[in-house]
Amino acid sequence: MLKQVQGGVCAAKGFTANGVHCGIRKNKTKRDLALIYTKAPATAAAVYTQNLVKGAPLTVTKNNIANGMAHAVICNSGNANTCNANGIEIAEKTCELVAKALHISATDVVVASTGVIGQPLDITPIANGIPSLVDGLGAHSDLACEGIMTTDTKPKEIAFEFTVGEKTCRIGGIAKGSGMIHPNMATMLVFVTTDCKISSAMLQKALSEDVKTSFNMVSVDGDTSTNDMLSILANGEAGNEEITEDGEAFTAFCEALHAVTVDLCRKIAGDGEGATKLLECKVDGAKTEDAAKVVAKSVICSSLFKAAMFGADANWGRVLCAIGYSGADVDVNKVDVSFRSVKGEICVCKMGAGVPFSEEQAKDILLQSEIEVLISLNDGEGKATAWGCDLTYDYVKINGDYRT
């Protein structure tokens, strides 16, 4: 049974974290360097962006955790360290500096960066910031969370307690992501920690499977970032028998992991750049699960639909339009559509055609900060959920001068 707890990435036994301002960002009130650490060795796994343009830290991290082990995560914000001639050198040097300060191997460090693409990254502020970053390690998941934020307006962290055998385990995560959100493997930057004992192979299996129904179903603006990475460290300090194969224990772990990832998905989508509303599209009755995923994602990604939601306009035709061009095998003459929020639920389309409804009631429903788009395809057992946000004037404002 899952129980939400406090602590984020420090909820699990043996994990500490911190975040500081080291000088990468000009605004001294914003933290720009974060660290997560476990003294006990941890199994590690990660998934990465499929964008052909990749940040240098991803290459270094892949090499470092090829043996399935890690002790620490270091991440800077304000500069993506992408498309830099010396990017690999900077990422490797960052790992070396962290390793020296923590007395671990440089190859036991997950390194990540987020921010502007194509800007030179100076190692000096990172080198200067690491001593205070390490000295301040503690139960500071919130500070680490701040250290990885860019255009985010809200910190994103969550933790749960669960049971494996007779042992109580904990799992928690932090995330950053507000723009360039349209993952094809994982998302933005997400760091998860757990004290559950699980082999690196099973950890990777759990992570790779989870993203299919969590982060791969999130979209803010249709742009897949160059630095997307989701990594997880498991130090085994809960004392459970190591999970090395499928079974009841692995299922319990996967359920806990999914609780963390879905919560972070919702937080990321709801904090999309300029967004005023979280959109959750739930599709059922599809011929297959894959068809349901395609439909849900198509609706969430529709700029016209997102704009309609910003204006609280129950323009259900845009939902049907997105379903029609999604490429999924759908009988459009069987589609039902409803909108739901805390203000109630209203049916706007039945069997592919409009039905009479109150525009006033619909507007009241769509003015809320969280909107559910309910789509029944009435053609099978497949179902899926996708998350997104509305498209507002502020999205253009934020991205019109993001670099300068």
| Res 380: pLDDT | 97
pLDDT in tens, 209-218: 999 999 999 9
Return the higher-pLDDT residue of 370 and 397: 370
* Boundary of a domain, candidates 270, 302, 336: 270
* Boundary of a domain, candidates 234, 253, 270: 270
pLDDT (average), residues 81-109: 97
Nearest Cα to Cα of residue 232 among 265, 199, 183, 270: 199
Same domain, 230 and 300: no
Q: Label residue 340 by pLDDT band (50, 70, 90).
A: very high
Same domain, 205 and 65: yes
User: Can you tell me whether residue 206 is helix, strand or coil?
Assistant: helix
**Rg from Cα positions in the chain:** 22
Same domain, 87 and 236: yes
pLDDT (average), residues 277-292: 98
pLDDT in tens, 159-175: 999 999 999 999 999 99
Q: If residue 102 lies in a helix (H) or strand (E), which one and from where to where?
A: helix 87-102
Instruction: Tell me the residue type at 81.
Output: N
How far apart, in whole angstroms, are the C-alpha atoms of residue 104 and residue 106? 7
Instruction: Evaluate if residue 362 carries a pLDDT over 90.
Output: yes
Same domain, 316 and 196: no
Instruction: Evaluate if residue 328 carries a pLDDT over 80.
Output: yes
Q: Do strands 336-341 and 109-116 pair parallel, antiparallel, or not at all (unpaired)?
A: unpaired
Domain of 282, CATH number, reads 3.10.20.340
| Residues 357, 314 contacting (CB under 8 angstroms) | yes
pLDDT (average), residues 182-199: 87
Same domain, 187 and 236: yes
Nearest Cα to Cα of residue 224 among 297, 157, 280, 153: 297
How far apart, in whole angstroms, are the C-alpha atoms of residue 357 and residue 346? 7
Buried b (16+ CB within 10 A) or exposed e, 380-400: eebbbbbbbbbbbeebeeebe
How far apart, in whole angstroms, are the C-alpha atoms of residue 279 and residue 72? 34
| Res 185: pLDDT | 67
Q: Label residue 187 by pLDDT band (50, 70, 90).
A: low
Same domain, 239 and 145: yes
Give residues with Cβ within 8 angstroms of 391, minimum separation 6: 274, 303, 306, 307, 309, 310
| Res 184: pLDDT | 75
How far apart, in whole angstroms, are the C-alpha atoms of residue 156 and residue 235? 22
Give me the percent of the chain exceeding a pLDDT of 90. 89
Instruction: Evaluate if residue 186 carries a pLDDT over 90.
Output: no
Give me the percent of the chain exceeding a pLDDT of 70. 99
Same domain, 142 and 240: yes
Q: How many domains, in total, are found in the chain?
A: 2
pLDDT in tens, 233-272: 999 999 999 999 999 999 999 999 999 999 999 999 999 8
The angle, 0 to 180 degrees and rounded to 10, between the axes of the packed helices 87-102 and 56-64 is 50
Mean pLDDT computed over every residue of the chain = 95
Domain of 97, CATH number, reads 3.60.70.12
| Phi, psi at 323, each rounded to 5° | -65, -40
From the list 43, 187, 226, 385, the catalytic residue is 187
Same domain, 291 and 214: no
pLDDT in tens, 364-380: 999 999 999 999 999 99
Cα-based angle 199, 182, 367 (whole degrees, multiple of 5):
115
Same domain, 43 and 114: yes
| Res 181: pLDDT | 80
Same domain, 226 and 123: yes
How far apart, in whole angstroms, are the C-alpha atoms of residue 254 and residue 232? 13
* Boundary of a domain, candidates 204, 238, 270: 270
Count the Cβ atoms, other than its own, within 10 Å of residue 245: 11
Domain that residue 11 falls in: 3-270
| Res 222: pLDDT | 84
How far apart, in whole angstroms, are the C-alpha atoms of residue 378 and residue 325? 18
Nearest Cα to Cα of residue 179 among 222, 141, 136, 239: 222
Encoded tokens for 6:
């406090």
Residue 187 annotated to the active site? yes
CA dist 355 to 338, 351, 358, 394, Å?
Answer: 11, 10, 10, 33
User: Can you tell me whether residue 36 is helix, strand or coil?
Assistant: strand
Same domain, 240 and 361: no
Encoded tokens for 329:
């095998």
Return the higher-pLDDT residue of 151 and 236: 236
Instruction: Evaluate if residue 292 carries a pLDDT over 60.
Output: yes
| Res 402: pLDDT | 75
Cα of first residue to Cα of last residue in the chain, in angstroms, is: 48
Same domain, 303 and 349: yes
Say how many residues make up the chain: 404
pLDDT (average), residues 14-29: 95
